[in-house]
Amino acid sequence: AQSVTQPDIHITVSEGASLELRCNYSYGATPYLFWYVQSPGQGLQLLLKYFSGDTLVQGIKGFEAEFKRSQSSFNLRKPSVHWSDAAEYFCAVGGNTGTASKLTFGTGTRLQVTL
């Protein structure tokens, strides 16, 4: 069965500092990997996705993520965090199934940004 683990429930960083959010997955074939962001009381917005090809993917809002097959990881990074980045971040894994109904979401990491 596929699964996603986000080991950090809550992370606090200072504005301007770098950020890395961890995501480990389990999937029996080539995974499709996603990072979504959720502001309080809102829906989720896709930050970036990995399907194939270059293992370093760029997303919106200055985020990037690197797929490491050997480590079953897809960590999200940002060089310099802004106060507006405070939100909850979800990693998700799926495959080439033709439907988003097969996506599995992690439990999320809540990011707090201090000024």
Partner 1 sequence: DGGITQSPKYLFRKEGQNVTLSCEQNLNHDAMYWYRQDPGQGLRLIYYSQIVNDFQKGDIAEGYSVSREKKESFPLTVTSAQKNPTAFYLCASSSLDPATNEKLFFGSGTQLSVL
| Residue ranges in contact with partner 1 by CB under 8 A | 4, 9, 32, 34, 36, 41-46, 49, 90, 94, 97-101, 103-108
Q: Contact at 8 Å (CB) between 78 and 30?
A: no
- Shortest distance, position 29 Cβ to partner 1, whole Å: 14
User: Whose Cβ is closer to partner 1: residue 65's or residue 108's?
Assistant: 108
User: Whose Cβ is closer to partner 1: residue 4's or residue 87's?
Assistant: 4
CA distance 7 to 106: 9
- Shortest distance, position 105 Cβ to partner 1, whole Å: 4
CA-wise closest residue to 86 among 11, 5, 3: 11
| Single-letter amino acid code for the residue at 49 | K
CA distance 95 to 104: 10
**Hey, is 86 helix, strand or coil?**
coil
User: Whose Cβ is closer to partner 1: residue 71's or residue 97's?
Assistant: 97
User: Whose Cβ is closer to partner 1: residue 26's or residue 42's?
Assistant: 42
